[in-house]
Structure 1
Amino acid sequence: MSRHDPETETTTGVADAAADVRNGVMRLARRLRAERDPGELTLGRLAVLGRLERDGPATTSALAVAERVTPQSMARIVQHLISAGLAERAPDPDDRRAAIVRITDAGREQVQQDRQRREAWLARAMSELSDVERDLLVLAARLLDRLADS
């Protein structure tokens, strides 16, 4: 005789839901990437510019921790952004031995243009949803944001 185990069913249900969420998020991320112009910055470089725009100046090591990459990888990304005129190095006001990286006006414009292009596509796609579906999607986005911070 088989025994009914509600805990196993709950665990399986959560695992199935997690797979559905992962699949949906991954497909949306790929679709948003497809809205980028070819030849633009890599996603890693764009992520660093976005972080500098959002959070303000930071050291290369702080950026590496925040973006979960090695300090060496971040140093290469930062150097590319500086060479392209999208970021600049300045002395750290709290520690003159260190340097901070900050976004330039050109970098800010690059981030904003990229964001606007992708958000325009998303707004067009969302306009096909019902009001209830859009409200649910906004709630889901907030929940995904919370999960990302956990």
Structure 2
Amino acid sequence: MKTTATAAPATPELATEASELRIATFRLARRLRAQRAIDTMSDGQFAVLATLKVHGPHTLGELAERERVSAPSMNRTVNCLEESGWLTRTPDERDRRKVNIALTGEGLDVVEETVRRRDAWLEAAITALPDDKRAILREAAEIMREVAAL
């Protein structure tokens, strides 16, 4: 797990810039999260489906650790997703004490449609900007990746 970056005390101007960036990032993330294939699905539920799409099947403990929630909390989330038909639990072939959790075809469709909607919303928003601001956003995306990697 990454630790928070520590630096010299910030100037008032830098503190304001950091706060403004944080607020703008959260607002954009909130707008993107609103673009989903299933309106009743929580962000946590979608995160589990997206994790399974990107990283493949996991045990309950692995999912809980990856999402930084307790095993009982993850079990409730997985139960709900399983009842909706978006994932399955199957016994591990090597260790029958373990259960592997994987996406169903319907779960994969939910993830892909949500990603498609989010990308389309953001593309439309960016298209409305002038070229100079779009260039700034391209540069900002790279800088944000660097900051996130700290």
**TM-score, L = length of structure 1:** 0.81
Identity %: 38
- Tell me what 2:61 maps to: 61
* Residues 1:55 and 1:136: Cα distance change in structure 2 (over 3 Å): farther
Q: Gaps (5+ residues) in structure 1?
A: 1-6
- Tell me what 2:33 maps to: 33
* Matches of 1:99 and 1:115, distance apart in 2: 28
* Matches of 2:15 and 2:93, distance apart in 1: 48
* Matches of 1:94 and 1:138, distance apart in 2: 46
Preserved contact between residue 86 and residue 104 of structure 2 (Cα < 8 Å): yes
Give CA deviations for 1:22-79 in whole Å, capped at 9, x if unaligned: 1011111222233346743111101100110011111111111111111111010011
Quote how far apart the aligned CAs of 1:137 are. 2.0
* AA at the equivalent of 1:18: A
* Matches of 1:58 and 1:38, distance apart in 2: 23
Higher helix share goes to which structure? 1
* Residues 1:114 and 1:65: Cα distance change in structure 2 (over 3 Å): same
Task: Give the number of the structure with larger relative contact order, counting CA–CA contacts within 8 Å between residues 6 or more apart.
Answer: 2
Quote how far apart the aligned CAs of 1:145 are. 4.0
* Residues 1:144 and 1:100: Cα distance change in structure 2 (over 3 Å): farther
* Matches of 1:52 and 1:20, distance apart in 2: 33
Give CA deviations for 1:66-93 in whole Å, capped at 9, x if unaligned: 1111111101001111111100012234
Q: Gaps (5+ residues) in structure 2?
A: 1-7
- Tell me what 2:47 maps to: 47
Structure 1, 65-74 or 133-142: larger mean CA deviation:
133-142
* Matches of 1:92 and 1:143, distance apart in 2: 41
Matched, 1:18 2:18: yes
Q: Which has the larger radius of gyration?
A: 1
- The 5-angstrom pairing of residues 1-150 of structure 1 reads 10-36=10-36, 39-150=39-150
Aligned length: 143
Quote how far apart the aligned CAs of 1:147 are. 3.9
Q: CA RMSD in A?
A: 2.3
Preserved contact between residue 36 and residue 114 of structure 2 (Cα < 8 Å): yes
